[in-house]
Amino acid sequence: MYGINSLTLAALTLAAQTIVATSAYAPYFAKSFHGHRTSADSSSEGNVYPVKDCSAFIDKSKNSWSCHNTSAIATEDQCCFENYGILMQAQFWDYNTTLLSVAVNGTARDIVKADVQSQVDSLYDDLKRTFTIHGLWNDHCDGKYSSNCQPDLEVSDERDNLTHLIGVEFNEPELLAVMKRYWINTLKSNVADQASIALWEHEYNKHGTCMNTLNPPCFDSGFKEHEQAVNFYKKTVEIWSQLDTYEFLAAAGIYPTVAKQYKLADVQRALADAHGGEVYVGCLDGAIDEIWYYHNLQGNVLTGTYKAIDSLTNSTCKENVWYIPK
């Protein structure tokens, strides 16, 4: 039995983090799916979505930004303005609960062993370096929300076979591959069926059916049943791929570890600097487990410009937080 002093603990932890930071692994597919964001918005880059052109509405209207209109939007412009105009991209960090126990109750030896092992593991599994997809939500301008707005537009895996729908019927095998790997169910999702496909179904039915610019009349001629759902999934993945929470935090020297806590203010500052607006940080048992990025929208939800805004929700975290490895 032997002890490890705080300087040794810090040195070993720093060494492990340096290995991760300098690893030569190429970006995984999702993070180069549609290119990396270079400005404080999450606009569509390189994707072609089959919806009506909104450029004329944006050019002529002083009310083109969601939640900033001063008069009602005309019926003919409803495909170019989201009535529920707070667009949020939500991400999961499903940390290893056993490692949280080590962080809180473990000996110095336990902590060093767990920290070094988790850092090494993350070199070989990019999921351990990834905040995965929860969904794309549209809240009301006051922060409230509606859900399951149009049951007739909902999808059902039992009826529609979502993997076949996405990968074969709409010929999006790359999108499906990203969803299978990075849009995965967790205990925090509030979906009874723990299968990831159940989460996809839940997220579109709950939130996507409330996006008025996704309604079938907003699509070009030749609209196919469930085209709006597949494009909802495609847009959600696109925005998520531009909001790399792990890298945003790493750029500020914040890495998953069981060796120490971080100040919540430092985490929030790092994310706000990257995003361009304050970001919601959610915690479970004192450890970071969810992130929400808030936006206003100009134009259609698929082709419009997403502008970062400050979070409308207070953090559930304490002043000091754990950022526990997966």
278-311 residue pLDDT tens: 999 999 999 999 999 999 999 999 999 999 999 9
Q: What is the mean pLDDT of the chain?
A: 87
Where along the chain do its domains lie? 46-70+85-321
- 18: alpha, beta or left, given left = phi > 0 and alpha = psi -120 to 50? alpha
149-199 confidence digits (pLDDT tens) = 999 999 999 999 999 999 999 999 999 999 999 999 876 666 655 579 999
From the options 1.20.120.790, 3.20.20.70, 3.90.730.10, 3.50.50.60, give the CATH code of 46-70+85-321: 3.90.730.10
**Catalytic residue IDs:** 134, 203, 207
The predicted pLDDT at position 186 comes to: 78
- Give the per-residue pLDDT at 6: 52
Give the pLDDT confidence of 38-81 residue by residue, as tens digits.
334 445 555 689 999 999 999 998 889 999 998 899 999 999 99
Other C-beta atoms within 10 Å of 140: how many? 15
Q: And the tokens for 253? A: 């020297």
35 touches 46 (CB < 8 A): yes
CB count in 10 Å sphere of residue 26: 7
pLDDT at residue 158, as a whole number: 94
Residue 2 is encoded by which pair of tokens? 């032997």
pLDDT tier, 10 (very low <50, low <70, confident <90, very high otherwise): low
Residue 203 confidence (pLDDT): 97
- For tokens 């056993």, name the residue: 98
pTM, full prediction: 0.88
In whole angstroms, give the CA distance from residue 297 to residue 56. Answer: 16
Q: Is the pLDDT of residue 24 over 70?
A: no
pLDDT at 2: 35
Q: d(Cα 90, Cα 292) in Å, to the nearest integer?
A: 4
Helix or strand run (H / E) with residue 241: helix 227-241
Which pLDDT score, from 0 to 100, does residue 44 have?
52
Write the DSSP assignment of 86-137 as a string of letters: EEEEEEE----HHHHHHHHH--HHHHHHHHHHHHHHHHH-GGGG--EEEEEE
- In this structure, is the dihedral angle defined by the CA atoms of residues 193, 321, 240 and 301, taken in order, positive or negative? positive
Query: What contacts 31, CB < 8 A, 6 or more positions away?
Result: 241, 244
Cα(79)–Cα(183) distance, rounded to whole angstroms?
Answer: 27
Rounded CA separation 117/101 (Å)? 15
Other C-beta atoms closer than 10 Å to the C-beta of 144 total 10
